[in-house]
């Protein structure tokens, strides 16, 4: 984005996220964008309740923001399955759904052709809220199996 406050897709995504006042629920296959990581950290610092669900195989890859966000005190849970936790969505204040093809990676933001759909229509937000709560419980560490 050439301008610091330009209307590039990343700026718009950041602006949507930064409207969060109470909660931010994130469900992402891959999360390595430093800008988006910083925004999430900032919201956590402001007292917004941040919860992150991610993919076990991708969370430890180089450049992942997950470790940093965990160190900052943000709750993170991950799948325990051989398949991918492939969702790419976030829900702001249980009100606004941000979903699409975009993983929160610099590669995707800068080089890929992607879509992000933002909606406050309850008809669309509700199933994603329900899915988030379902997998947040399913991936509760008390349910982890160690081999």
Catalytic residue annotation = 86, 88, 93
Nearest alpha-carbon partner for 111 in 10, 3, 35: 10
Q: Angle, to 10 degrees, between the axis of helix 34-45 and the axis of helix 9-17?
A: 20
Tell me whether residue 42 or residue 80 sits nearer to a second copy (CB atom): 80
Given 121, 141, 146, 147, the residue binding a second copy (CB under 8 A): 121
Contact 128, 21 (CB under 8 A): no
Contact 109, 123 (CB under 8 A): no
Stretch that binds a second copy, among 14-22, 36-44, 61-69, 128-136 (CB under 8 A): 128-136
Tell me whether residue 44 or residue 88 sits nearer to a second copy (CB atom): 88
User: Is 104 an interacting residue with respect to a second copy (CB under 8 A)?
Assistant: no
User: Is 145 an interacting residue with respect to a second copy (CB under 8 A)?
Assistant: no
Q: Which two tokens stand for residue 57?
A: 């195989």
Given 22, 46, 84, 120, the residue binding a second copy (CB under 8 A): 84
| Measured distance CA(46)–CA(91) in Å, rounded | 17
Tell me whether residue 75 or residue 110 sits nearer to a second copy (CB atom): 110
Given 5, 115, 141, 142, the residue binding a second copy (CB under 8 A): 115
- Complete DSSP assignment for 58-79: HHTSTT-SHHHHHHTT-EEEE-
Q: Shortest gap between Cβ of 64 and a second copy (angstroms)?
A: 18
Contact 49, 22 (CB under 8 A): yes
Binding residues for a second copy (CB under 8 A)? 29, 79, 81-89, 99-102, 107-108, 110-115, 117, 119, 121, 124, 128, 131, 135
């Amino acid at each position: 984005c050439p301008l610091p406050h330009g209307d590039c897709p990343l700026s718009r995504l950041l602006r949507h996220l930064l409207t969060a006042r109470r909660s931010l629920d994130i469900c992402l296959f891959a999360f390595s964008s430093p800008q988006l990581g910083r925004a999430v950290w900032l919201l956590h610092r402001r007292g917004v309740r941040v919860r992150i669900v991610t993919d076990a195989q991708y969370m430890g890859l180089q450049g992942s923001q997950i470790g940093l966000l965990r160190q900052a005190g943000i709750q993170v849970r991950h799948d325990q399955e051989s398949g991918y936790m492939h969702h790419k969505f976030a829900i702001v204040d249980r009100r606004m759904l941000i979903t699409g093809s975009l993983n929160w990676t610099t590669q995707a933001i800068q080089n890929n052709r992607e879509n992000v759909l933002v909606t406050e229509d309850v008809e669309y937000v509700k199933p994603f809220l329900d899915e988030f709560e379902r997998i947040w419980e399913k991936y509760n560490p008390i349910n982890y199996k160690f081999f």
